[in-house]
Amino acid sequence: MPKLDTTVLSQGGLTPALADYMIENCIGILPLPLGLGIGFLVNGKNYIVPMAVEEPSVIAACSAIAKIIGTHGAGFHCKSTPPIMIGQIQIIDIHDFEQVKYVLSSGKKKIIEYANQNCQAMCSRGGGVVDLRFR
């Protein structure tokens, strides 16, 4: 079994400076006990889920229900949508929104093609501009 280095814990744990270095947009740290939820059958594969909580019964309850669902059902089934980012452009001083919407909608394919010329690396990985919506 690997030896657990508890030095950082005995010195107060994670500092805000270190946390800020570790992730983007860090706004704080949570000094909570870290435990493991066990028995999570997700899409046919067993997982151990780390949980940082202060309530003693939460991890036990999650593990118990995961065991029940895994034993008497097929576990949890998850899926996700593709990672789509939404960008917004605001056009001001429009006097006839329906006319502008019509013009932009009519040229939608050309606008998307033009935009994707400027992000060819993203497009080669399956990304790029995929749709335009107007409101």
54, 32 Cβ separation under 8 angstroms: yes
Tell whether 25 and 61 lie within a shared domain. Answer: yes
Q: 91 in a domain, yes or no?
A: yes
Q: Give the structural domain span for 113.
A: 83-135
Tell whether 32 and 55 lie within a shared domain. Answer: yes
Which residue, of 72, 94, 114, is where some domain finishes?
A: 72
Identify which of 51, 74, 54, 52 has the alpha carbon closest to the alpha carbon of residue 63. Answer: 51
Tell whether 51 and 98 lie within a shared domain. Answer: no
pTM: 0.48
Tell whether 68 and 91 lie within a shared domain. Answer: no
Q: 1 in a domain, yes or no?
A: no
Q: 95 in a domain, yes or no?
A: yes
pLDDT at site 8: 66
The three-state (H, E, C) secondary structure of 35-62, written as one string: EEEEEEEECCEEEEEEEECCCHHHHHHH
Q: 34 in a domain, yes or no?
A: yes
Tell whether 68 and 17 lie within a shared domain. Answer: yes
Identify which of 114, 109, 101 has the alpha carbon closest to the alpha carbon of residue 131. Answer: 109
Each residue's pLDDT tens digit in the chain (135 positions)? Answer: 677 777 766 777 778 888 888 887 777 787 778 889 999 999 999 999 988 888 879 999 999 999 999 988 789 999 988 778 888 888 889 999 999 999 999 999 999 999 999 888 988 988 889 899 988
Tell whether 49 and 90 lie within a shared domain. Answer: no
Tell whether 103 and 62 lie within a shared domain. Answer: no
